[in-house]
Structure 1
Amino acid sequence: MAVQNWIDILKTSKKTALIHDGKRKIHYLLTDGKEMTEEYDLKTDELIVRKWRHKSTLGVQNPWQVEIGEPLASPVASLDSDGIIENCSNPVFMRKDTKTSFQWRIRNLAYPKEVFCVLLEPSERFIIIKTSNKKYYKKFSIPDMDRNQLPLNSSALSFTHANNTLIVSYKKPTEILTLELELLKELKKLKGTAEGDIDCKTQ
């Protein structure tokens, strides 16, 4: 039932579609006031970007939070007098799913694969990445699995390391694949406006 609950939330939300630059962009306004935007590749139907934002308790719009896709540029990289910018050699954590797996990439990790330990904490519902040289540690959840209240399975988790990038994959269960197909059918029914026609109410 949990999966159906989440798809119902998405179906009952107010949606606006925009076709631009080879992408289908969807803006959701959920019944609880939260906003979500998604971008799909028109050719492959792959989800490229998912971002969230919601109003604070005082009614102020919080900044967008990236769930899938390239992290937003740091506001520190502004033209202030000190010229402080984030070190480009720091590890960069981002999620980039495939059709069959949830996938996370952590760039700038120049250690051999055997240094990494990637494990699942089913009770806490977290994936943990740590290194034997104690140089990197990361704990993160799978929001899609949490929203649908699906159990986590260690056998679905795998990782590889190449070109200084650690790639962690979690095989999507049948429930998620079914939900994604159903949602995609719904989204394709939306009439996508051309760039410039959209009424931006997110100011």
Structure 2
Amino acid sequence: MFKNTIWYKSLMGAEKSCLKEDKIKKVHYKFEDGREMVEEYNTDTEVLLRRAWKVKGKLGGEGKWEVEVGDPIPDATPNTETAEIIESQDQPILTRRNTRVNLEWRIRNLPYPLETYSISANNDEKCIIVRTTNKKYFKKLQVPEIARLGQPLEQANIQSTHQFNTLIIMYKKPQQLLDMDKEWFEELKKVKPIKDVPNDCKAQ
């Protein structure tokens, strides 16, 4: 049962605050071990749009946010020179999404047809391994949601499609994760939104 997992207990024990902007609910967690996490939910669909972890700066600075689910958090001070270089790269770009029923990965800039890819659940390494028969691409996709529940990855839950040079990999959420998603969204309704928004929260 998900309520017995270390993950669920740590969520329950975390200090939580939240903001609501239009149809987005942002929740900030401060865990007992000092770690910080931010989640964003669509209040209509109850789907998690983003989950990011605060990573401490190497020199004890403010640190950055590392995105686990959702689009990268825009840098407050983008360097225009490097931004242009990044845009022009043809390197594969990986993003993580969530839907109500699936965990989803999108890998852009992969031009090969669907039959080129081998996508396999690897429980020894607790990840999904993506490789191409032409040996042009290899990637290990972490699935922290399943690992936190202590469940094995099931090959039968993996589906994939390929369109517009993008490989889309979907992992069907097991019942335990669906139950936890639903239960946790109900739990978050108890967290009252903050009226006065501190400046540092707006930036997240």
TM tier, shorter chain? 0.7 to 0.9
The 1:125/1:58 distance shift into structure 2, 3 A limit, reads same
Other-structure match for 2:152: 151
The 1:123/1:78 distance shift into structure 2, 3 A limit, reads same
User: What's the secondary structure of 1:48's corresponding residue?
Assistant: strand
Does the CA contact (< 8 Å) of 1:77 and 1:85 recur in 2? no
Does the CA contact (< 8 Å) of 1:13 and 1:28 recur in 2? yes
Deviation of 1:144 (Å): 1.1
Question: Is residue 99 of structure 2 the alignment partner of residue 98 of structure 1?
Answer: yes
Other-structure match for 2:50: 49
Does the CA contact (< 8 Å) of 2:28 and 2:36 recur in 1? yes
Amino acid at match of 2:173: K
The whole-number CA distance in structure 2 between the counterparts of 1:83 and 1:66 is: 19
1:12-61 Cα deviation digits (max 9, x unpaired):
11111100132001011111111110111121111111100143687544
1:107-138 Cα deviation digits (max 9, x unpaired):
12121111111111112111111111222111
The whole-number CA distance in structure 1 between the counterparts of 2:120 and 2:77 is: 33
The 1:65/1:185 distance shift into structure 2, 3 A limit, reads same
Deviation of 1:2 (Å): 6.0
The whole-number CA distance in structure 2 between the counterparts of 1:52 and 1:79 is: 25
Does the CA contact (< 8 Å) of 1:3 and 1:148 recur in 2? no
Deviation of 1:96 (Å): 0.6
Gap runs ≥5 in structure 2: none
The whole-number CA distance in structure 2 between the counterparts of 1:78 and 1:199 is: 26
- Runs of 4+ deviating beyond 6 Å: none
The whole-number CA distance in structure 1 between the counterparts of 2:59 and 2:2 is: 31
Other-structure match for 2:141: 140
Deviation of 1:62 (Å): 2.8
Identical-residue share of aligned pairs (%): 37
The 1:147/1:83 distance shift into structure 2, 3 A limit, reads closer
Question: Is residue 12 of structure 2 the alignment partner of residue 14 of structure 1?
Answer: no
The 1:162/1:83 distance shift into structure 2, 3 A limit, reads closer
TM score, norm. by length of structure 1: 0.87
The 1:113/1:75 distance shift into structure 2, 3 A limit, reads farther
The whole-number CA distance in structure 1 between the counterparts of 2:121 and 2:115 is: 17
User: What's the secondary structure of 1:36's corresponding residue?
Assistant: strand
The whole-number CA distance in structure 1 between the counterparts of 2:18 and 2:149 is: 24
Other-structure match for 2:85: 85
Other-structure match for 1:110: 111
User: What's the secondary structure of 1:25's corresponding residue?
Assistant: strand
User: What's the secondary structure of 1:189's corresponding residue?
Assistant: coil
Alignment of 1:62-77 (within 5 A): 62-73=63-74
The whole-number CA distance in structure 1 between the counterparts of 2:16 and 2:83 is: 40
The 1:103/1:79 distance shift into structure 2, 3 A limit, reads closer
TM score, norm. by length of structure 2: 0.86
Q: Number of paired residues?
A: 200
User: What's the secondary structure of 2:9's corresponding residue?
Assistant: helix
Gap runs ≥5 in structure 1: none
The whole-number CA distance in structure 1 between the counterparts of 2:62 and 2:147 is: 24
The 1:94/1:7 distance shift into structure 2, 3 A limit, reads same
Alignment of 1:141-180 (within 5 A): 141-180=142-181
